[in-house]
């Protein structure tokens, strides 16, 4: 299909997807953090069924797979990410128990009460934290776990510039105690929370994006969508540098109890 036949949205989505295919991770995180979160999850066996929602190209999924023995389904709405996910699984010889599928986290293709663990790093915001916790719960077995990372405020108050930025991109950002209360209200026991270290943002996310931006700008000179995307990325990194003591990603691990 030529670009003329595609809607602007399709072109934008494809460009965004292509851009993030140039980096290992599509959000802040690290293998150490994935394993720390996993250490709070009990009772996984080779029969366990795990879903990684908004898996991207599977950076964290492959780490999970190398430290668990059950079956993992990675689900993402971008076919390009899922294709790369399945390629990565094959490269690591994990294809028998790690499969990527295209789908949406607001219409899960799993059996009710069928999953032992729902994982989602930096992605639940796409459906919203409370809505995701409430809707995904029905797919978990009793005693099953949910483990998600989510942007959160570290303080009750913060400078207007960073407050306004987050209100415009994700107004559901909240403090850790408020997020924990939402977990409890949704029918889980909050098991653990911890803040992702700074290197998850800087070394593992923002730094690889600098190189990716250079390559992309050279490939698409003068493209307005690309320019906007690059500008937003630089702004996001600059805000983090300025205001990192006020916000960050927090991992929340919880157990379904009713």
Ligand X SMILES: C[S@@+](CC[C@H](N)C(=O)[O-])C[C@H]1O[C@@H](n2cnc3c(N)ncnc32)[C@H](O)[C@@H]1O
For 228, the 3-state DSSP assignment is helix
Helix (H) or strand (E) holding 182, with range, is: helix 176-185
What residues numbered 124-143 form the site for ligand X, per CB under 6 A?
126
Considering only 104-112, 181-189, 207-215, 232-240, which stretch makes contact with ligand X by CB under 6 A? 104-112
Residue 148 binds ligand X, judged by CB under 6 A = no
Q: Which two tokens stand for residue 38?
A: 């996993």
- Residue window 8-37: x/- pattern of binding to ligand X, with contact defined by CB under 6 A: -----------------xxx-x--------
Considering only 32-40, 98-106, 218-226, 246-254, which stretch makes contact with ligand X by CB under 6 A? 98-106
Residue 100 binds ligand X, judged by CB under 6 A = no
**Near ligand X by CB under 6 A: residue from 60, 88, 182, 204:** 60
Q: Which two tokens stand for residue 7?
A: 């809607």
Q: Which is nearer to ligand X, 54 or 144 (CB)?
A: 54
Nearest to 44 by CA among 35, 53, 57: 35
Residue 121 binds ligand X, judged by CB under 6 A = yes
Angle, in degrees to the nearest 10, between helices 79-91 and 8-21: 20
Considering only 42-50, 99-107, 211-219, 226-234, which stretch makes contact with ligand X by CB under 6 A? 99-107
**Near ligand X by CB under 6 A: residue from 19, 44, 54, 72:** 54
Angstrom CA distances, 49 to 29, 103, 189, stand at: 23, 17, 20
DSSP characters over 46-90 = TT-EEEEET-TT-HHHHHHHHT--SEEEEEES-HHHHHHHHHHHH
Q: Taking the alpha carbons of 92, 125, 139, 178 in that order, is the dihedral positive or negative? A: positive
The Cα–Cα gap between 163 and 158 comes to 6
Angstrom CA distances, 256 to 14, 147, 173, stand at: 37, 11, 23
Residue 123 binds ligand X, judged by CB under 6 A = yes
**Near ligand X by CB under 6 A: residue from 33, 55, 146, 186:** 55
Q: How far is the CB of 64 from ligand X (least distance, A)?
A: 11
Q: Which is nearer to ligand X, 122 or 144 (CB)?
A: 122
Interface residues with ligand X (CB under 6 A) are 25-27, 29, 54-56, 59-60, 75-78, 81, 104-106, 121-123, 126
């Amino acid at each position: 299909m030529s670009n003329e036949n595609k809607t602007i949205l399709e072109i934008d989505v494809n460009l965004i997807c292509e851009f993030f295919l140039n980096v290992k991770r599509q959000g802040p995180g690290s293998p150490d953090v994935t394993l720390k979160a996993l250490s709070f999850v009990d009772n996984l066996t080779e029969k366990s069924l795990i879903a990684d929602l908004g898996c991207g190209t599977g950076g964290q999924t492959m780490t999970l797979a190398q430290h668990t023995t059950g079956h993992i389904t990675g689900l993402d709405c971008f076919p390009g990410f899922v294709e790369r996910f399945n390629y990565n699984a094959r490269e690591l010889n994990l294809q028998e128990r790690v499969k990527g599928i295209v789908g949406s986290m607001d219409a899960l293709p799993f059996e009710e009460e069928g999953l032992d663990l729902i994982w989602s790093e930096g992605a639940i915001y796409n459906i919203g934290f409370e809505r995701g916790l409430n809707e995904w719960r029905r797919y978990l077995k009793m005693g099953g776990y949910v483990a998600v990372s989510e942007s959160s405020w570290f303080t009750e108050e913060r400078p207007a510039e960073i407050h306004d930025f987050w209100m415009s991109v994700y107004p559901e950002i909240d403090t850790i105690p408020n997020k924990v209360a939402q977990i409890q209200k949704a029918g889980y026991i909050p098991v653990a929370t911890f803040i992702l270290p700074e290197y998850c943002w800087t070394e593992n996310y923002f730094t690889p994006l600098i190189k990716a931006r250079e390559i992309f700008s050279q490939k698409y000179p003068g493209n307005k969508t690309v320019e906007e995307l690059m500008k937003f990325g630089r702004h996001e990194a600059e805000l983090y540098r300025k205001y990192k003591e006020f916000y960050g990603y927090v991992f929340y691990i919880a157990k379904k109890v009713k």
